[in-house]
Amino acid sequence: MNAWSRFRRNRLALVGLVLVVVLAVSAALAPWLAPYDPARQSLVEKRTKPGAKYVLGADEFGRDILSRVIYGSRVALLVGVLSALIAVAGGLLLGTVAGFVGGWLDAVLMRGIEILLAFPYLLLALAIVAALGTGALNTTIAVGIWGVPTVTRIVRGSVLALRETEYVGAARALGAPVTALLRRHILPNILPSLIVYATLFMANAILLEAALSFLGLGVQPPTASWGLMVSTGRDVLLVAPHVATVPGLAIMVAVLAFNLVGDGLRDALDPRLRGSA
């Protein structure tokens, strides 16, 4: 049974996949799907309750929350995908170097990785943002760096295991460059683990971006970011609870979607891990 048919039998994973597709479509087609311009203010209609004109209500500046939630999916997905790419690229580089070079470089790198892993991630992201400054790009970098240690470990473990195999030894003896070894032998072996990790990482990346933006240290106004929307809604929480709670629902659905797909992929690609927490 191949991976796809295993994945397809997992109903929760399919629900997750549908939600991811919905997210991707809303991000891609935001200008056509959104009923209003997400930046259009209408101060007389501020804090309008959900109703006929504004399906999900309007925020503090009378901006349509539905339109902003739709545009917010762009920020969430972009930060998620790009930070996952940073994590995978950084981890591939460091893991390959640590695994192939070995020696003191390996020891130093892995101690550093352990320190990063031992550290509460939000605190680390806060330190990075404190250094880089706020904004969408810096948030993406801060989130991406957080994923590098785990990818490094996956890659290094695989490099160490495969370095000792005869076929990799033979390829090296024939003078194959490291990049070829990486592409032909290492990558195919770790691809399933990387895909699973990257998917689950996206869920956490969306959460982390939202958290940073909520604190005011992530994406800056007037960009429509879900975490930022919750943060601005917080000021009017007691008079207009929908302004803060509705965008938060979008965060939860997006995170849930990637968690479900990630769990499903793990069960489908790596049956040994089936059922494990």
Closest CB to another protein among 181 and 207?
A: 207
Q: Which of 44, 131, 173, 174 binds another protein (CB under 8 A)?
A: 131
Please tell me the count of residues contacting another protein according to CB under 8 A.
Answer: 49
Ranges of beta strands (E only) in the chain are none
Secondary structure percentages of the chain, helix, strand, coil, to 5: 75, 0, 25
Nearest distance from C-beta of residue 169 to another protein, angstroms:
35
Closest CB to another protein among 192 and 248?
A: 248
Binding of residue 56 to another protein (CB under 8 A): no
Closest CB to another protein among 49 and 111?
A: 111
What is the number of alpha carbons within 13 Å of residue 227 lying toward its C-beta? 23
Binding of residue 52 to another protein (CB under 8 A): no
For residues 237 to 266, the per-residue mask of contacts with another protein, x marking binding by CB under 8 A and - elsewhere, is: xx--x--xx--xx-xx--xx--xx------
What is the distance between the alpha carbons of residues 122 and 212, in angstroms, rounded to a whole number? 8
Helix (H), strand (E) at residue 173: helix 166-173
Site for another protein in 173-232 (CB under 8 A): 203, 207, 210-211, 214-217, 227, 230
What is the distance between the alpha carbons of residues 174 and 241, in angstroms, rounded to a whole number? 67
What is the distance between the alpha carbons of residues 246 and 234, in angstroms, rounded to a whole number? 11
22-49-63-227 Cα dihedral, nearest 10 degrees: -60
Burial status of residue 51 (CB atoms within 10 A of its CB: 0-12, 13-18, 19 or more):
exposed
Nearest distance from C-beta of residue 120 to another protein, angstroms:
4
Name the residues that contact another protein, by CB under 8 A: 12, 111-112, 114-116, 118-124, 126-133, 203, 207, 210-211, 214-217, 227, 230, 233-234, 237-238, 241, 244-245, 248-249, 251-252, 255-256, 259-260, 275-277
